[in-house]
Structure 1
Amino acid sequence: MKILYGVQGTGNGHISRARAMARALQQHPELKVQWLFSGRSPDKLFSMEPFGDYWWREGLTFVHRNGKIDAGATTRQLNLSRLLRDIRELPVGDFDLVISDFEPVTAWAAKRRGKQSLGLGHQYAFNFRIPAPRFNWMARGIMRAFAPVHSSLGMHWYHFGHPILPPIAQPHGQADAGSGDHILVYLPFEHHQPLLQELAKVPQKFMLYGAPLDLPTAENIQLKAPSIDGFQQDLASAKAVICNSGFELIAETLTMGKPILTRPLSGQFEQEANAQALRELQLARVVERVDANSINAWLQEQPAGVRIQWPDVAGQIARWIAGGRSQTPSELADSLWDQVVPGRGASGTRVAQAATDQLPPCR
């Protein structure tokens, strides 16, 4: 089977999930995969060795400024003529299956040619009624139209009674919360100078990813360069995590039982929905601002982490594809949620009630 696998490269979460899928798909030599990435300039991509001779297209992305979606800048940077040309010229006819991790060029090319397509990723969970801001019909419509597929496997931290899969996330290294003395901060879309000023007021050690390395910092802050191995090591040894409300990083953090302080990007439907789900599931502290006051208030409560052991979702999806997708998505979801192991936070407190209850079938 020849597979064209498109990945939205705007954030690191999609690429992190794709790396896990690349390793899993490589276990099935009968599956020949051509990778395509879009949404980020090629010079900004790193650690791409698992994808071999991958293709790149400009695609679509959103522009963020100071923790918010900049609708005007997003519209101005859109090269619609190039997008339509890339969709029209993509040789999807050479492949048996098109997979899209919310990647628009591959998804729309498959739709245009009537080629069988499968969506894999968190965004496809929003095809079901899950926690999300109400009445935001425009954002919902954009999400549905961004990368349309014939069938999909959505992923979330909980299934909410629907055929939604657990996350693709595995712990890295030693996963005991509190094993280090630093708090890992990953807020790449924030205005970094005000953020650094706020972190300097908190008597804690911070390791900050996603900011320019030449910014002046206080002694309690260490700026870190992009690095897959370095980030995973610092995450595994952190005593807590501060991040935006993206999906993949929080899923990985939950495998390690780390306390999480999170702020959703303003105006970003997916992140605001994720924040709502985190509140309902009691998996993280959600705040409107990340500043000295919110961080100190969170730390004074001595937050306990929540640990959930996810199964090998990537491996089972790869086997499902190689086996001809004979299971229905509901059957696949049920089999994976049966393997989820809810546990305890680092302080011994039980994880959120929604995660510890006996999970019902995902129908």
Structure 2
Amino acid sequence: MKILYGVQATGNGHISRARAMGKYLAKAAVQVDYLFSGRDAAQLFDMQQFGQFQVKRGLTFVTEAGRVNYWKSVQQASLRELRQDINSLDVSSYDLVITDFEPITAHAARRAGKRSVAIGHQYAFLHAIPQCHNNVVTQMVFKHFAPAQMQLGLHWHHFNQPILPPIIDEEPLDVAIQPQQVLVYLPFEDQQQVLKLLKPLTGYQFCVYGPGLAIDSDGHISTHPPALAPFKADLASCSYVLSNAGFELISEALQLGKTIMVKPLQGQMEQQSNALALTQLKLALSTEQLSTEVIAQWLQQPHSLNQVQYPNVASAICDWLLAGCNTDVSALSQKLWR
């Protein structure tokens, strides 16, 4: 089998899912070519697993200080280039096209009538799940941004819908848990403002990852640029996770039993809906505004262990793909949630 795998590279969660899926596809000796869009190639890191991959401009959102800037998002979009990339992408040699909310591969497969499967959290929003600030426009985006013949939506709970548990790129690390260690990943916020908020909280050790940060240490705060291996190590050893409300990191944190607080990206319906779902499921706290006081209250209150054991979804999807997708999504969903 030969697969073209498109990945929305705006957030690291899509890439993390592709890492997990790629390992099982490689074990099955499937030939996979990868295409990433939504981020400049120079900003991608630790991509050796994907071999000789393609990078396209695609579409993405511009964020500033924790909020989506829709005007700049429209300004930087090049629909002509997107259309050219879709029309010029040759998918004729592939048996299957997979898209993780990546529009070029998705629409190229549709144009060519090629068999296609969509995998990702965004496709869960095509079902009746907790949603915040949903409207006609957001539903059009979820339905038409990166469509496929079959959609595998992912979420932390099934909500009585035909969706799957999260795909987690998990390689268990045998590390000691540090009771006062906090992993901070707020890439859409002003990083210097985040550091300023954490500085008075000297009773905790903060490992802060974010764009533009250098490897440095200042007492109880260490900073790091985005990097896979050290991030995974700090995630394994920390007790707390403070992050935006992206899907993949929260999934890994839940699997590891971390205490979580999220600050959803303002103006981004998916993250605000994620925060709503987490609070409804009593899996994490959410705040609309970060402050030293809010963070301190979260760290100091009693916490119960919110560890969730998810099945090996990547392996199950790989088996399902290799079997020709011969069972419907509802049956696959029921099997995995059991």
Match of 1:70?
A: 69
Ranges in structure 1 where 5+ consecutive residues have no aligned partner: 339-363
Match of 1:23?
A: 23
Equivalent residue of 1:326, what SS? coil
Ranges in structure 2 where 5+ consecutive residues have no aligned partner: none
8 Å Cα contact 2:3/2:33 also seen in 1: yes
Match of 2:152?
A: 153
Deviation of the 1:134 alpha carbon: 4.6
Letter of the 1:334 partner, please give it: Q
Match of 2:239?
A: 239
Match of 2:58?
A: 59
Deviation of the 1:54 alpha carbon: 1.1
Deviation of the 1:220 alpha carbon: 2.0
List per-residue Cα deviations over 1:109-164 (Å, max 9, x = no partner).
11222222110011111110100015522222222221111111111000100111
Letter of the 1:326 partner, please give it: N
* Identity between Structure 1 and Structure 2 (%): 44
Match of 2:6?
A: 6
List per-residue Cα deviations over 1:29-82 (Å, max 9, x = no partner).
2x2211111111001111111111111111111111000100011011111111
List per-residue Cα deviations over 1:293-322 (Å, max 9, x = no partner).
111111221223310111111011111111
List per-residue Cα deviations over 1:2-49 (Å, max 9, x = no partner).
2111000011100011000000101212x2211111111001111111
Distance in 2, matches of 1:140 and 1:272, equals 15
- Say yes or no: does 1:32 pair with 2:31: yes
- Say yes or no: does 1:84 pair with 2:97: no
Structure 1 runs of 4+ aligned residues shifted over 6 Å read none
Q: Structure 2 vs 1, CA of residues 134 and 290 (structure 1 numbering), >3 Å: closer, same or farther?
A: closer
TM-score, normalised to structure 1, is 0.89
Distance in 2, matches of 1:71 and 1:160, equals 31
Q: Structure 2 vs 1, CA of residues 87 and 239 (structure 1 numbering), >3 Å: closer, same or farther?
A: same
Deviation of the 1:263 alpha carbon: 0.7
Which region of structure 1 is more displaced relative to structure 2, 213-222 or 245-254?
A: 213-222
8 Å Cα contact 2:130/2:276 also seen in 1: yes
TM-score, normalised to structure 2, is 0.95
Match of 1:130?
A: 129
Deviation of the 1:215 alpha carbon: 9.9
Paired residues for 1:312-351 under 5 Å = 312-338=312-338
Match of 2:281?
A: 281
Deviation of the 1:211 alpha carbon: 4.0
Deviation of the 1:172 alpha carbon: 3.2
Match of 1:183?
A: 182
Distance in 2, matches of 1:305 and 1:82, equals 48
8 Å Cα contact 2:134/2:269 also seen in 1: no
Deviation of the 1:97 alpha carbon: 1.1
Number of residues paired by the alignment?
336
8 Å Cα contact 2:259/2:306 also seen in 1: yes
Equivalent residue of 1:309, what SS? coil
Distance in 1, matches of 2:270 and 2:159, equals 16
Paired residues for 1:93-242 under 5 Å = 93-169=92-168, 170=170, 172-174=172-174, 178-203=177-202, 204-214=204-214, 218-242=218-242
Letter of the 2:319 partner, please give it: R
8 Å Cα contact 1:175/1:255 also seen in 2: no
Distance in 1, matches of 2:11 and 2:166, equals 16
Equivalent residue of 2:92, what SS? helix
- Say yes or no: does 1:269 pair with 2:263: no
